[in-house]
A and B are shown apart, each in its own frame.
Chain A
Amino acid sequence: MQTSANVPRPRGSVWTDPQVRAWVFQIIAVIAVVALGWYLFDNTQTNLEKRGIVSGFGFLGNSAGFGIAQHLIEYTESDTYGRVFLVGLLNTLLVSFIGIVLASILGFILGVARLSPNWLISKMATVYIETFRNIPPLLQILFWYFAVFLTLPGPRDSLGINDTFFLNSRGLYMPSPGPSENFWPFALVLLATIAAIVVMGRWAKARREATGQVFHAFWASLAMIILIPGLAVLIGGNPLVWSVPELSGFNFRGGWVLIPELMALTLALTIYTAAFIAENVRSGIMAVSHGQTEAARSLGLRPGNTLRLVIIPQALRVIIPPLTSQYLNLAKNSSLAAGIGYPDMVSLFAGTVLNQTGQAIEVIAITMSVYLAISISISLLMNWYNKRIALIER
């Protein structure tokens, strides 16, 4: 193996040497990007100075002075902008999380339903999907907010269920639990039940593998989780004190309330995104070759087991990447909250706070970073899961 190591390479023009060219173009690109960045930074600094705007993040410590309709953490008007940021962030995360969970469930059911051999079911799923994925999400949010939730009767004429739940134009009021003196003993019973169910599940699986007998662990678990805590309540008394909403004056007091903005936003995003997820699920299932179904069926597997053991596990690897995109879309579309005044990150922080402080660059930078962080977290999580279920070949 003594070849061209010492033989001088024939050199043409420097300009046609691919290595030289690669270096030159990369250096030019870096210089251009740095120069542009510096220009933007310097320009901004100069202009801010000219207008006497103080830059920096000091404003986060100032008092906000406005109220917020929904806050998951303690908040009063005298709290700081920093706290407003936290409230907005949590509200955004709340909508994104509920939306992703509900849209996944609904989307999965719809996707499988659209492939159903039952004509009615599959047509109904088709109509749903084609309707809701073709209407702009903002319009759907406005529809649910203005045409549905805001047109509900006022607090005095609430639609009540059993005098515990009340639905009116100000939201859905429901009882909120608080611990009574029986709470901790009951919690122990509940934990013990859950532990017992886990143990039973393992035992059932081990027995199925050892003897082949199927133990209906699901139904047994269901019975246990209802009966044992139920018995505990009968013996020991109620572990929770419910604060039931009551009409006093023009509004309800006590209990929890889901504000109409939250319901409209979550419902619209769920319904909208579920239509897309359904199509992902359908394409994933259809991507699994028909030969797989035939092989499973020819071995005697039932349709349900075929779907669960053979088709879905293979469909998932096709479903996950576009599903990630749908999750990201949902999280970002939650910023449409601004359209109906739900106090999310954008309407609260990039809206009200920006208007009051004028710290446009800082506020927008923070808001963008937050969405970037949320999106990247979702992406990483989903990519990790996708890698875990990937097929092994060669």
Chain B
Amino acid sequence: MSEANKQPSAEPMILMQGVHKWYGQFHVLKDINLSVQAGERIVLCGPSGSGKSTAIRCLNRLEEHQQGRIVVDGTELTQDLKHIEAVRREVGMVFQHFNLFPHLTVLQNCTLAPMWVRKMPKRQAEEIAMHFLERVRIPEQAGKYPGQLSGGQQQRVAIARALCMKPKIMLFDEPTSALDPEMVKEVLDTMVSLAEDGMTMLCVTHEMGFARTVANRVIFLDKGEIVEQADPDTFFTNPQNERTQLFLSQILH
């Protein structure tokens, strides 16, 4: 349990209680318990195949959990499509491979969901889109197609696209893993500025520098279990579990 961040008064933004998930015989998530308050910034890390991506993909039901409860912003995720859609409206997601819509311009990528999901007027949707494109510092690319942009620019558009839905929570699934090294910084800068504005963020990443400076809490998963969670200082300087120590020794050369 997270001792430092526990605020019993406020309803948690995200609550995972005893969540289990299997892919066939393979037990991907084992008894995940997690509570995230509004404005918290969580970094999930762990070796590949540890279930960290699966865990955050369960939060907007891109993956289905088979046991336990997940409550996001007061809505419990069940089979009910209404609940799933309600959660997805409030949860933005950024993917490793951007997943921009290649047949639409940058601006259309950003206005599609506000217009069709939030039923927003086109002009208003475009104003909001331009606002967030300025925020990620590429308003001049609004008329271009994703294929015409660099990887870093595409990922920033993907962030803007998610922000246009005015989400309460942002999920980042290895947002910099598919980028060339020189483009990692521009994306991380965008995420840092988002964190400074108080966005609730869950981020799967191997960028330990980002974790150190931005996260309130770092969670280490291995083999589908939460092995250790702590504030970044404790996590990096004084890890308790030997699996964490092994992992950190491998990635921090």
* Contact indicator A393/B147 (Cβ below 8 Å): yes
Q: Which residue of A lies closest to B57 (CB)?
A: A294
Bound CA span A22–B64, Å = 63
* Contact indicator A291/B97 (Cβ below 8 Å): yes
The tally of residues in B whose CB lies under 8 Å from a CB in A reads: 33
* Contact indicator B100/A391 (Cβ below 8 Å): no
* Contact indicator B122/A300 (Cβ below 8 Å): no
Bound CA span A295–B62, Å = 10
**Does A168 belong to the interface (CB within 8 Å)?**
no
The tally of residues in A whose CB lies under 8 Å from a CB in B reads: 29
* Contact indicator A391/B113 (Cβ below 8 Å): no
Bound CA span A392–B101, Å = 12
Interface string of A288-299 (1 = CB under 8 A from B): 010110111111
* Contact indicator A391/B102 (Cβ below 8 Å): yes
* Contact indicator A391/B101 (Cβ below 8 Å): no
**Does A313 belong to the interface (CB within 8 Å)?**
yes
Residues of B within 8 A of A214 (CB): 119
Interface string of A169-213 (1 = CB under 8 A from B): 000000000000000000000000000000000000000111111
* Contact indicator B161/A299 (Cβ below 8 Å): yes
Bound CA span A212–B111, Å = 12
* Contact indicator B145/A291 (Cβ below 8 Å): no
Residues of B within 8 A of A209 (CB): 115, 121-123
Residues of B within 8 A of A393 (CB): 102, 145, 147-148
* Contact indicator B93/A298 (Cβ below 8 Å): yes
Known contacts A300-B88, A300-B117, A314-B103; A210 and B123 CB within 8 A of each other: yes
* Contact indicator A212/B124 (Cβ below 8 Å): yes
**Does A309 belong to the interface (CB within 8 Å)?**
yes
Of A212, A302, A314, A392, the contact of B115 (CB 8 Å cutoff): A212
Bound CA span A287–B145, Å = 20
Of B101, B103, B113, B123, the contact of A300 (CB 8 Å cutoff): B113
Q: Which of A289, A292, A295, A297 has the most CB of B within 10 A?
A: A295
* Contact indicator A298/B124 (Cβ below 8 Å): no
Residues of A within 8 A of B (CB): 208-214, 289, 291-292, 294-302, 305, 309-310, 313-314, 389, 391-394
Instruction: State the 9 A-B residue pairs at the shortest beta-carbon distance, nearest first.
Output: A393-B147, A209-B122, A295-B99, A299-B113, A291-B99, A298-B93, A300-B117, A300-B88, A212-B119
Given A297-B62, A298-B91, A313-B103; 4 other pairs, CB 8 A cutoff: A210-B121, A292-B99, A299-B113, A391-B102
Pairs across A and B, CB under 8 Å, 13 listed:
A208-B121, A210-B123, A212-B115, A212-B121, A212-B122, A295-B93, A295-B101, A298-B91, A299-B113, A300-B85, A314-B103, A391-B103, A394-B148
